Amino acid sequence: MDSLSPAIAPKIVLPARNSYQFLGPVLPSLRPSFSRLCKKICVHAENTTPTPIAPAIDFSDPHWKSKFQNDFEARFNIPHLTDIFRDTLPIPSTFCLKMRTPTEDFADGYPSDEKWHGYINNNDRVLLKVIRYSSPTSAGAECIDPDCTWVEQWVHRAGPRERIYFKPEEVKAAIVTCGGLCPGLNDVIRQIVITLEIYGVKKIVGIPFGYRGFSEEGLSEMLLSRKVVQNVHLSGGSLLGVSRGGPNVSDIVDSMEARGINMLFVLGGNGTHAGANAIHNECRKRRLRVAVVGVPKTIDNDILLMDKTFGFDTAVEEAQRAINSAYIEAHSAYRGIGIVKLMGRSSGFIAMHASLASGQIDICLIPEDFLQKTNAKDASGNIVFGDIGVHLQHETKKYFKEIGIPADVKYIDPTYMIRAVRANASDGILCTVLGQNAVHGAFAGYSGITVGICNTHYVYLPIPEVISYPRVVDPNSRMWHRCLTSTRQPDFI
Ligand X SMILES: O=P(O)(O)OC[C@H]1O[C@](O)(COP(=O)(O)O)[C@@H](O)[C@@H]1O
Ligand Y SMILES: Nc1ncnc2c1ncn2[C@@H]1O[C@H](COP(=O)(O)OP(=O)(O)O)[C@@H](O)[C@H]1O
Residue 25 interacts, among ligand Y, Mg ion, ligand X, none and using kind-specific CB cut-offs from 5 to 8 Å, with none
* Half-sphere CA count of 55, side-chain side, radius 13 A: 13
* Rounded-to-integer distance, Cα 412 and Cα 414, Å: 6
Name the catalytic one among 2, 71, 124, 300.
300
C-beta of 3: minimal distance to ligand X in Å?
35
Q: Spell out, one character per residue from 30 to 69, where the chain touches ligand Y: x when CB under 6 A holds, - when not.
A: ----------------------------------------
Q: Which residues within the stretch 387-426 sit at the binding site for ligand X (CB under 6 A)?
A: 419
Do residues 145 and 157 touch, judged by C-beta distance below 8 A? no
Question: Does 300 help bind ligand X (rule: CB under 6 A)?
Answer: yes
* Rounded-to-integer distance, Cα 169 and Cα 190, Å: 20
145 counts as catalytic: no
The rounded radius of gyration (Å) of the Cα atoms in the chain is 25
Residue 61 interacts, among ligand X, ligand Y, Mg ion, none and using kind-specific CB cut-offs from 5 to 8 Å, with none
Question: Does 378 help bind ligand X (rule: CB under 6 A)?
Answer: yes
* Rounded-to-integer distance, Cα 38 and Cα 59, Å: 44
Q: Which residues within the stretch 128-157 sit at the binding site for ligand X (CB under 6 A)?
A: none
The site for Mg ion (CB under 5 A) is made up of 269-270
Residue 487 interacts, among Mg ion, ligand Y, ligand X, none and using kind-specific CB cut-offs from 5 to 8 Å, with none
Residue 299 interacts, among ligand X, ligand Y, Mg ion, none and using kind-specific CB cut-offs from 5 to 8 Å, with ligand X
C-beta of 385: minimal distance to ligand Y in Å?
14
Question: Does 294 help bind ligand X (rule: CB under 6 A)?
Answer: no
**How many angstroms from the chain centroid is the CA of residue 491?**
29
* Rounded-to-integer distance, Cα 21 and Cα 81, Å: 46
* Half-sphere CA count of 329, side-chain side, radius 13 A: 18
SS3 62: coil
Candidates 24, 25, 168, 179; binder of ligand X (CB under 6 A) is 179
Q: CA dihedral in degrees (338, 342, 346, 348; nearest 10)?
A: -80
C-beta of 195: minimal distance to Mg ion in Å?
26
In 10 A of CB 63, how many CB atoms?
9
Candidates 17, 80, 244, 391; binder of ligand Y (CB under 6 A) is 244
What DSSP line would sit under 403-422, residue for residue? TT---EEEEE--HHHHHSSP
Please give the backbone phi and psi of residue 337, each rounded to the nearest 5 degrees, phi first.
Answer: -135, 130
**How many angstroms from the chain centroid is the CA of residue 325?**
27
Residue 245 interacts, among Mg ion, ligand Y, ligand X, none and using kind-specific CB cut-offs from 5 to 8 Å, with ligand Y
Cite the active site residues.
300
Binding residues for ligand Y, rule: CB under 6 A, are 178-180, 210-211, 244-246, 268-272, 274-275, 278, 298, 380, 382
Binding site for ligand X (CB under 6 A): 16, 179-180, 269, 298-300, 343-345, 378, 419
